[in-house]
Amino acid sequence: MSSSFNNRIQMSIWGESHGPGIGVVLENLPAGEYIDTEKLLAFMARRAPKSDGTTTPRKEKDLPQIMSGLLNEKTTGTPLCAFINNTDQHSADYKQTNQLVRPGHADYTGAVRYRGFNDVRGGGHFSGRLTAPLCFAGAVCGQILERRSIYTGAHISSIHNIKDEVFNRTTISKDEILNIRRKLFPVINDTKGKRMRADIQKAREGGESLGGIIECASINVPAGIGSPIFDGLENTIAQLIFGIPAVKGLEFGLGFDCAKITGSQNNDEFYINDLGHTVTKTNNHGGILGGISSGMPITLNVAIKPTPSISTPQNTVNLTSQKPEVLEIKGRHDPCIVARAVPCVESAVNIALLCHMLDYPHFAG
C-alpha cells in the first residue's frame, strides 16, 4: 500500500482532504513512553495556517482524537491510532473544475493510476492536508527522541530569492533549535523573514505562488545508527521526506556543492575533542557516512516547489471531452507552503531517526 511505511516502525496515513477526516496508525512504538499531549498539540499547531495572509484561510483545529495505543499518557505498545476531523472543507470550489487537470497537481497522474475514481477535491489523498497526521506521528517520535537528548529543528533557508542565515553544521545547539521552534515564522534572521513575508504577499496579490528551501538539523544522534546500501539513514530519511507533497529535492550536508570542490576540500578531517570523542573539524558529510551516523549533527536541505494552485489562468485539458481549456482556480490556497512544511520536515526526520534508534544498544534504557 503506497501510503504505508514499514521500517521497524510501521506507519499508515489515510483519508482525503475533503473527506470526513484523516488519520494515522503507528505500530511498533516502544511501550511505556510518556507523551505530553500539550506539547504534541503545540508541535502540530506550527503546521496550521497563519493569520498574516501568507497561508490559506482554511482553518482546521487539527485536534487529534487518540483512539488507541495511549493510556495515562504512556504508549501501550499496541497500535497508536489518531483521527483528525476535517471541519472546514469547501468542496463546491471544485465542482466546476473537477474534470480539468490542474497544472502542477497529481490530478492527471492520479486519474490514470486509479482509473478516474480518485477524489480530486482539494487534492484528495494527494493533498498537503495529509501532512497533519504525519506531524502527529513526528511529534510522538520527537518526544521519544528528545527524552534521549536527540533534538531535530528546521528553519526556512530561503523563499524565492531571499535567503536566511544557515546553521553551523558543526556547532548547532539545542537552544538554537528550540528558539526557532518558538517563532511563528521560522527563520534565524527575523529581518530576512520580514522580507520573505512581504514577497509572499506580493505573489499572492499577483495571483502567483512561491517555493523555497528548508534546512533541517538533528543533534546528539550517536555514531553507528543506520546500515549501508539500502537501509542507510539517508535512505530512510529520503523516503519519508519525499512523502511530503511539494518536495522536489533533497541534499545532505554540503550536498550538490560538493561536486564543485576537490576531495581534500570535501573530506572532513577527524580529531579527538576535549571530551575524548572522535569528531570531525568540518561536517560536509552532514553527519552520515556510508549510510551510518558519524555522531556529528545530521544536516539536510529540502526543496519545496511553489504552490501549484494559483489564480492566474492556465492552459490545460478536460479529461471528459479531451479538449483544451483554460483553468482559473478558485478557492482557498497557500501562496507559499514553505513555512507550514517546516514541522513536516522535522516530523519525517524524527520518524526516520527513531526507526534506526530502535536498533541502538540500550535504547530502551
> What secondary structure does DSSP assign to 221-265, as a single string?
PPTT-B-SGGG-HHHHHHHHHTTSTTEEEEEETTGGGGGGS-HHH
Q: What is the pLDDT of residue 56?
A: 62
Q: What is the pLDDT of residue 324?
A: 93
247-252, strands of its sheet edge to edge: 162-163, 151-159, 212-219, 298-304, 247-252
The half-sphere exposure of 182 on its side-chain side, counting CA atoms within 13 A, is: 6
DSSP β-bridge partners for residue 75: 70
Q: What is the pLDDT of residue 121?
A: 78
Q: What is the pLDDT of residue 271?
A: 97
Go through the chain and tell me how many residues it has.
365
* Cβ atoms within 10 Å, residue 251: 16
User: Selecting from 3.90.1150.10, 3.60.150.10, 3.40.50.300, 1.10.275.10, what CATH number does the domain 4-357 have?
Assistant: 3.60.150.10
Residue 203 neighbours by CB under 8 Å, 6+ apart? 160, 209, 210, 335, 336
Nearest partner of 346 among 171, 150, 197, judged by Cα: 150
Helices marked H in the chain: 37-45, 107-113, 131-146, 174-181, 190-205, 233-241, 263-266, 338-357
Residue type at 279? V
Residue type at 115? R
Q: What is the pLDDT of residue 330?
A: 77
Q: What is the pLDDT of residue 356?
A: 97
Query: Considering Cα of 124, then 128, then 133, then 134, what sign does the dihedral take?
Result: positive
Our separate counts of H helices and E strands in the chain read 8, 18
Running DSSP on this structure, what letter comes out for residue 40?
H
Alpha-carbon torsion angle 352, 356, 362, 363, nearest 10: 20
Domain regions of the chain by residue span: 4-357
What are the per-10-residue average pLDDT scores of the chain (365 residues)?
Answer: 88 89 95 97 91 62 91 97 82 64 87 82 81 96 98 98 97 97 97 98 94 98 96 98 96 97 98 95 98 98 94 90 89 88 98 96 73
Distance, in Å, from the CA atom of 55 to the CA atom of 89, rounded to the nearest integer, reads: 16
CB contact at 8 A, 232 and 84 = no
